[in-house]
Chain A
Amino acid sequence: MAEKIKVAVAGNPNVGKTTIFNALTGARQKVGNWPGVTVEKKEGTKKHKDHILEIVDLPGTYSLTAYSADEVVARDYILEEKPDVVVQVLDSTNLERNLYLTSQLLEMGTNLVLALNMSDRAETRGDDIDIRRLESLLGVSAIKTAANEGRGINALLDSIVNKTESNPPLPHEIGYGGRVEENICALEEILGSDRELSKNYPSRWMAVKLLEGDENALSKLSSSSIEGKVQNFLSDLDHEEYEVEMADKRYEFIGTLLPQVCTTCAEDVSPSDMVDKVITNKYLGIPIFLTLMWGMFELTFAFATPFMELIDMFFGWLAAAVTSNIETVWLASLLGDGIVAGVGSVLLFVPNIFILFFVIALLESSGYMARAAFIMDRLMYTMGLQGKSFIPMLTGFGCSVPAIMATRTLEDEKDRLITMLVTPFMSCGARLPVYILLAGTFFSRQAGSVIFGLYVLGILVAIVSAKLFRTFIAKGQPSPFIMELPPYTRPSLKDSLQHMWNQGYLYLRKVGTIIVGGVVLIWLLAYFPQGADYGSADSLIGSLGKLIEPLVAPLGFDWKIAVALVFGFVAKEIVVGSLGTLYGTGEGEALSSALVADPGFTPAIALGLMVFTLLYVPCIGAVAVIKKETGSWKWMFFQAAYSTAVAWILALVTIGVGNIVL
């Protein structure tokens, strides 16, 4: 009988946690979101010796103090779900800092297995780690691994299984000494009087957290009988003093432990530092960075063309096959004009998005991304943000949804808010179909430059907006920038492909759900009422268009564009699909000729429409993420209103100027 074991993988950032997780689970992963927050949650299962391991990848954290969304997620999972085993991945070359998290995991009374990763690197350096000694001192299991070479993975699986069969550990206690210890005891006593509570949370751990002024821990008491007592007790204390003192004690504990288990060789300046000198060179740093960015987009577009052509051909064939083989007129229309054409127009850009995610994964796993953040820090500072904000914004070129989720690495609330509000201005992959159609149709020879110009416009609007928000809304300085630079590694093709697939899968799922729904809705509105021509002014969609036309009439947009933009809110790709429906032409060449033939659709209008599409309210997915991540309707509505207003104004200017110049 297979026994299920719940395993959580924890660890500092940049210790190879993802590689270990991938090696443990293989390609069978499930990506989703943690309930309540949109921090990406990865799960996988692995069968090992009659046991089924259900492995969850916790976000990378330095500690479990509830400092950022990541830490709360990791901590709550351990507290609430009570995994059978927690695997902490450590960087063998930097045990001191990694053991800090270990000390916190031990305090929580977890059943802990340590994976001393990057042991190859430590060995090359000449470090000698006595893991038996480490095991006996901490009461944990420890395994040396080198995940990039696949070393130690089997041993790790063995020891996870063995761990569940051994006795549960006693919560490890760090003696804090003096007045800290007195207060912990007093608090423990108060907490112990509530049976329910002390059953759910280890009392000592709770006492420690409360003393550190952990608000998240305090909120867990909110429904208990002793909340008032605890509040009273805490109100006399100055948490700030305790916080640092307790962190100090933990390091002291590690400091006494470490010499007994390992001899470390002094770290010298390594080749990687010399490469850093070049890459962050005062004059060459930014050019090299821009070069690589350009290369990334070049690859995204150039290498995707054959795949796009194939997808286009396939859906063209499918649509034709459907319409000609299904006798029922309405059904053929729904499937052919509606679903196949609509979904096809969106799937067309999947190669672009996959390649972009792949390159971003390469940059991230090679270690370059952190350097890029460093290079960009100065520039980001002038726009009122800090270097780390750059990474979500770059991801924003792929899709705003993961980009907004990526802002969780920003600890400062204001930095995070501003980054979330401006990230949608980075032109995401979904907007590209619109540019390709319109720029291709109206600016054939300069299409490339026009599209490039739109990307630049998006970046400029983001910069100016960030500056405005920093001046008027989230006043103050960007929080001081500090970021760990992971050592350079040869990026693993497997991990990058896995990352690409995980991110791309979320996109595909969106296509499968929201977009299919949106497309069907458009088709229904265009098809009914009975008797009206498909997609004509008499159809429901036509009436809707007429209704909202006045809103965009000053820009020179007609009802068809108005309708397309409304549906673009579902997903921006749909702008193309709905124009296709409204002009009754489907996708591709026919739509292009129809647009050129429409006297109301001038090049200036096309340009304005592209500007509007770039800037107006992001798609429903992105808006929902903003709501979730900011936790407030206010910021969601603010973002939607602000971006639409900016879009309206800039589109007006564009069309005005365009009418004169073009």
Chain B
Amino acid sequence: MEKNHNGLKYISLLWGILYMAAGLVQVAKGVGLLPASLVSSSLLPAELAGGLVLVVIGAVFFVATFEFSKDSFEGSAYAYVGILLCLVFGTLYFLSMVADLINAYILAMEGYEKWTFVDSFKPALYLGILSGVVYAVWKNRFKPVNQGGF
């Protein structure tokens, strides 16, 4: 039990930082505080709403870390919800990439002439894939307390 939590604690902290940072950069770009071309305009796009989503997910992980640091077992529930949100939004961005792909290459829609794969490779997607890997490896650690009920 204790050991599980230690691993989860650091993952939560790391994920919290990753999502929060990516989210804040997107928000800052979205409202014009940072130039859109900073680092990469496709890997870290200027997207206000999308950025806020990442910030919320980051916050969930921060609360998880905070709960873990109090040695509260509730931390794992926050981490679990956090990782589920990562997966949900990873899937969502994946689906919208699939849609873009069809638009650009199969339907050759207007406005998609310059579209490349990277344009849809948003933070929520690559961080989501990363989360998927972590979740697949640590599935049992994430599920809070016991196996039943889910």
Contact = CB atoms under 8 A, between A and B. Distances in A.
Interface of A: 121, 124-125, 270-272, 274-275, 277-279, 281, 284, 287-288, 290-292, 294-295, 298-299, 302-306, 309-310, 313, 487-488, 490
B63 A298 contact: no
A561 to B, nearest CB: 27
Given A277-B74, A490-B150, A295 B53 contact: yes
A284 B56 contact: yes
A309 B109 contact: yes
B86 to A, nearest CB: 11
Given A271-B143, A274-B144, A287 B85 contact: no
Contacts, number: 95
Contact of A299 (B57, B96, B100): B96
Name the prevailing secondary structure of the B interface residues. helix
Nearest to B143: A271
Given A275-B80, A275-B81, A291-B53, A302 B146 contact: no
Contacts of A295: 53, 88-89, 92
B103 A278 contact: no
B103 A279 contact: no
B34 interface: no
Interface centre among B52, B80, B88, B92, by most A CB within 10 Å? B92
A291 B85 CA distance: 9
B143 to A, nearest CB: 7
Given A272-B150, A309-B103, A278 B56 contact: no
B59 A287 contact: yes
Contact of A310 (B50, B107, B149): B107
Contacts of B106: 306
B149 A305 contact: no
A304 B102 CA distance: 11
Contact of A309 (B60, B98, B107): B107
Contacts of A306: 99, 102-103, 106-107
Interface in B98-150: 98-100, 102-103, 106-107, 109, 143-146, 148-150
A319 B27 CA distance: 45
15 contacts: A121-B148, A271-B144, A271-B150, A275-B80, A277-B77, A278-B63, A278-B74, A284-B63, A288-B56, A288-B85, A298-B92, A302-B96, A302-B99, A303-B99, A306-B103
B95 A294 contact: no
Contacts of B50: 298
A121 B76 CA distance: 23
B148 A270 contact: yes
A309 B102 CA distance: 10
Contact of B96 (A284, A294, A298, A487): A298
Name the prevailing secondary structure of the A interface residues. helix
A148 to B, nearest CB: 12
A324 B113 CA distance: 31
Nearest to B76: A274
A274 B77 contact: yes
Contacts of B49: 294, 298
Contacts of A279: 81
Contacts of B103: 305-306, 309
Nearest to B53: A291
B103 to A, nearest CB: 5
Given A291-B85, A299-B95, A271 B149 contact: yes
A278 B76 CA distance: 10
Nearest to A269: B145
A19 B4 CA distance: 36
Interface string B63-94: 10000000000101110110001001100100
Given A291-B52, A295-B89, 6 more contacts: A124-B148, A271-B149, A274-B76, A287-B56, A295-B92, A309-B109
Contacts of A488: 149-150
Nearest to A488: B150
B34 to A, nearest CB: 20
A107 B85 CA distance: 47
Given A271-B144, A287-B56, A299-B95, A278 B81 contact: yes
B145 A299 contact: no
A371 to B, nearest CB: 11
A295 B125 CA distance: 13
Nearest to B62: A284
A287 B59 CA distance: 10
Nearest to B81: A278
Contacts of A270: 145-146, 148-149
Nearest to A299: B92
Contacts of A303: 95-96, 98-99
B91 to A, nearest CB: 9
B123 to A, nearest CB: 14
A275 B144 contact: yes
Contacts of A288: 56, 60, 81, 85
A579 B143 CA distance: 55
B1 to A, nearest CB: 14
Contacts of B150: 271-272, 488, 490
Contacts of A292: 88
A415 B78 CA distance: 35
Nearest to A276: B77
A292 B107 CA distance: 29
A291 B89 CA distance: 9
B62 to A, nearest CB: 10
Contacts of B100: 302
Contacts of A271: 77, 143-146, 148-150
